[in-house]
Amino acid sequence: MARLSMFLVMLAALLIPILMARFKISGVPTAVAEIVMGILIGKSCFNIVQVTSDLTQLSSLGVIILMFLSGMEIDFDLFRPGNNNEEQRWSPVKLAGMAFVGTLINAFVLGLILRMTGLFDNVFLSVILFSTIALGVVIATLKEKEILSRPMGQTILLTAVLGEVVPMFALTVYASVNGGNGSRIWLIVLLLLAAIFLLRRFKQPYNWFTKVTKSTTHLDIRLAFFLIFTLVIIAETVGAENILGAFLAGMVMKLLEPSEATRDKLTSIGYGFFIPIFFIMTGVRLNLRTLLSNAQALLLIPILVLCFILAKFWAFPVYRLRFGRRNSFAGGFLTVTTITLVLPSLQVARNLHTITATQSDAFILAAVIVCIVAPIVFNSGYHLDREDLIRQRVVFLGTNVLTVPVAQQLQRNWFDVRMVTDDEKNYKTYNSQVDQLTYLPNLDEQCLTDGKFFDTDILVTGFRRDDKNFKFGHLAKENGVNRVIVAQVNRTVDEGQLATLSQAGVELFNPFNVEASVMRSLIESPAVYQMLTSTEAGLFEVRVRNHKYTDRPLMDLPFVDQITISRIRRGNKWIVPTGGTTINYNDHIIFTAKDIGTVATIRRELSKQN
């Protein structure tokens, strides 16, 4: 029977994504579908799968790896302070913090109400369960909507991060107190110190690992599992929960800045084998027959569903401070999603005998219900705003016949373009041709800072004077602009100045080299010249950020017959592509296409960040 149970669980894990794809079930998270499948084959329905020791161990590994991958999902860059536009005074960090504080208050009030009514008397556990947010499900939903890197997506993501990290530590305190280890809570500090030590110890060697690893060693994966088991063992030794150790291991791994290939391999191991077993076995263990025969439990389920929703109520008015009413409601409702931490929390509570099996099953079923409803409400209610469509923010310093046409073209392709000039005559000439043109008669660092012009992704200095271009290029880099492009107008300039700019990471644009290259193309290759100057054809570049197309050969691209790929730049190397060349994340593809419409579609599709 044990072997049959293992076979049926493996078969279920294989069939679930196939059936979801076949019947086009996209609104329900895969984790929820796996729990539902577990209910069908478990003791609630057909009872053809038994809980064996092997399945229990694999399930325990599944929740550990799930927490590890959840820790790896945290984007620490979102917590770093940065400049914000005046119109965006409500930053994602601030909004997420306010929303989660409101969630904790609501969860506490709801816990007191449940205790007063006699439905559930453990207020501390109620706060933990009602405040949790399924980070993995939220990220998957935001990726599918393609707004993960957008302001709304970042706000929801940060709220979900808080909804996973804070309850995680609260669960450890809860387990320590109720497990008789309250006096050892301070030992959790040792777990944090161990995580910091491992981070510092492997930060430098990790880059070396990536160079010497090969297909038969996979040092990056071995390091990941070493971190997992080391911190899990330390967590259990000091009286903390093993899932906290796994979560910290994931955070350490993320701070090591693993490559996309490493993350993909770890994700494949987790979601390809261990994690589905955990979710399926969660459904197998549910006993809905007992639950449905208990009148008090039946009453508890809709009340718990309502509590899960009301606990996250404050996300809506908080998000409304910056975003539209419809998207704020949809985004706030997505934070209702909760499943990943609820399950291990209930498992801990049952091990401590602080919750009955019936109450635990009621919480799980309520969590499954909201996990089905919340993504559906979000997907049907959220509509892309203009700021969701903006690709990058670009600031041009200087308005002339070179910069203005480029700015106009970028605006038509959903770039947020602003221009600055200190020439009143140019301002009057181009003001009607550029949407956001600012006249600053006394152009200096303070004026640019006050106007938030350094708060941009790309800054281009296009003055007709090299000294001004070099000056403001330096200032832009000193003020933290990621990409700075400086025009070199004169042929004879100080080579030392050019070297200094290059060392600072400034990109130089030399129109003389461009003109010479164009002239040479006209003489040697008229067709190439026509391609470069035509508005319907050209040589285009796109950076691959859509995971949908990574790890796939070029021949499998759905639009491969509409383009011709000439080169691929991977890091600092140029690759001559063939049909079997595999696309990696962050590859720069150089291609030509038949018309501008095709180019726009392909660039938009490949560059989507999800």
Report whether pLDDT(534) > 70: no
Two tokens, residue 430? 């181009």
Q: Sorting pLDDT into bands at 50, 70 and 90, what band is 32?
A: confident
Q: What is the mean pLDDT of residues 172-180?
A: 81
pLDDT classification of 238: cutoffs 50, 70, 90: confident
Distances (CA, A) of 474 to 113, 502, 535: 60, 10, 34
Per-residue confidence band for 529, with pLDDT thresholds at 50, 70 and 90: low
More confident residue, 84 or 504: 504
pLDDT for the residue 185 = 64
DSSP-derived secondary structure for 345-414: HHHHHHHTT-S-HHHHHHHHHHHHHHHHHHHHHHHHH----HHHH---EEEEES-STTHHHHHHHHHHTT
- The confidence score (pLDDT) of residue 225 equals 93
Q: What is the mean pLDDT of the chain?
A: 83
pLDDT, tens digit, 9 for 90 and up, residues 535-557 = 455 567 888 888 778 777 888 78
Burial string for 473-510 (b: 16+ CB within 10 Å, else e) reads bbbbbebebebbbbbbbeeebeeeebeebeeeebebbb
Position 390 scores a pLDDT of 62
Cβ(281)–Cβ(59) below 8 Å: yes
Query: Has residue 452 got a pLDDT over 80?
Result: yes
Q: What is the pLDDT of residue 85?
A: 46
pLDDT of residue 86: 39
Lowest mean per-residue pLDDT among 94-108, 348-362, 459-473, 563-577: 563-577
Distance CA 600, CA 609 (A): 16
Is the pLDDT reported for residue 42 higher than 60? yes
DSSP string of 243-255?
A: HHHHHHHHHHHHH
Task: Give the model's confidence band at 485: pLDDT under 50 very low, under 70 low, under 90 confident, else very high.
Answer: very high
The pLDDT-based confidence of 55 (bands split at 50, 70, 90) is very high
* pLDDT higher than 70, residue 570: yes
pLDDT attached to residue 458: 92
Q: What is the pLDDT of residue 415?
A: 81
Please state the φ and ψ torsions of residue 170, each to the nearest 5 degrees.
-65, -35
Give first-to-last CA distance, the chain, whole Å.
Answer: 42
The residues spanned by each domain of the chain are 2-388, 390-509, 519-606
CATH for 2-388, among 3.40.640.10, 1.10.3720.10, 3.40.50.2000, 1.20.1530.20? Answer: 1.20.1530.20
pLDDT digits (tens, 9 = 90+) for 362-400: 998 999 899 889 988 998 888 877 666 666 789 999 988
Residue 275 has pLDDT above 60, yes or no: yes
Q: Which residue has the higher pLDDT, 145 or 153?
A: 153
CB-count burial class (<10 Å; 0-12, 13-18, 19+) for 312: buried
| Distance of alpha carbon 349 from alpha carbon 255, whole angstroms | 31
Report pLDDT for 198: 83
Closest CA to 283 of 534, 39, 577: 39
Mean pLDDT over residues 12-27, rounded?
Answer: 88
Whole-number CA gyration radius for the chain: 28
Which comes out higher in pLDDT, residue 87 or 49?
49
How many angstroms separate the CA atoms of 395 and 460, rounded? 6
For the whole model, what pTM was predicted? 0.69
Where is average pLDDT lowest: 208-212, 215-219, 431-435, 529-533? 529-533
If one counts every other C-beta atom within 10 angstroms of the C-beta of residue 3, the result is 9
For residues 502 and 480, what is the distance between their CA atoms, to the nearest angstrom? 16
pLDDT at 210: 65
519-606: CATH number: 3.30.70.1450
pLDDT grade for 87, boundaries at 50, 70 and 90: very low
Residue-level pLDDT at 83: 46
Say whether pLDDT at 147 is over 90. Answer: no
Quick check: 64 and 232 in contact, CB under 8 A? yes
Higher model confidence: residue 200 or residue 125?
Answer: 125
Range 427-453 average pLDDT = 87
Beta carbons of 259 and 241 less than 8 angstroms apart: no
**Torsion of Cα atoms, 581 then 583 then 589 then 595, to 10°:** 90
Number of residues that make up the chain: 610
Provide the phi-psi class of 194: left if phi over 0, else alpha when psi is between -120 and 50, else beta: alpha
Q: Which residue has the tokens 């309850």?
A: 167
Tokens of 308: 């899960």
How confident is the model over 40-69, as a mean pLDDT? 91
Give CA 97 to chain center in angstroms: 18
Least confident span in 117-126, 175-184, 446-455: 175-184
Residue 543 phi/psi, 5° resolution?
A: -95, 125
* Structure tokens, 560: 């491969």
Angle between the N-to-C axes of helices 135-145 and 357-381, in degrees from 0 to 180, rounded to the nearest 10: 20
The pLDDT assigned to 84 comes to 46
Q: What is the DSSP string of 263-314?
A: HHHHHHHIIIIIHHHHHHHHHHH--HHHHHT-HHHHHHHHHHHHHHHHHTTT
pLDDT at 522 over 70: no
**Is residue 424 very low, low, confident or very high in pLDDT (cuts 50, 70, 90)?**
confident
Check residue 317 and give its pLDDT: 94
Q: What is the rounded CA–CA span in Å between residue 444 and residue 407?
A: 22
In whole angstroms, give the CA distance from residue 473 to residue 273: 51
Residues 259 and 70: their CA atoms lie apart, in Å, by 17
Q: For residue range 456-470, what is the model confidence (pLDDT) as tens digits?
A: 889 999 898 888 988
Strand 563-570 and strand 540-543: pairing? unpaired
Q: Return the ∠ at Cα 225 (arms to 222 and 226), rounded to 5°.
A: 80
pLDDT value at 487 more than 70? yes
Residue partners of 363: CB distance under 8 A and separation at least 6: 129, 304, 342, 346, 355
Per CATH, the number for 390-509 is: 3.40.50.720
- Please state which of the ranges 298-312, 413-427, 506-520, 583-597 shows the lowest mean pLDDT: 506-520
* Nearest residue to 207 via CA among 246, 262, 247: 262
Identity of residue 537: A
Other CB atoms within 10 A of residue 324 CB: 15
**pLDDT tens track for 336-367:** 998 878 888 888 898 888 898 888 889 989 99
H or E element: which one contains 190? helix 188-212
Taking the CA atoms of residue 137, residue 142, residue 145 and residue 147 in that order, the dihedral angle to the nearest 10 degrees is 180
Indicate if the pLDDT at residue 303 is higher than 90: yes
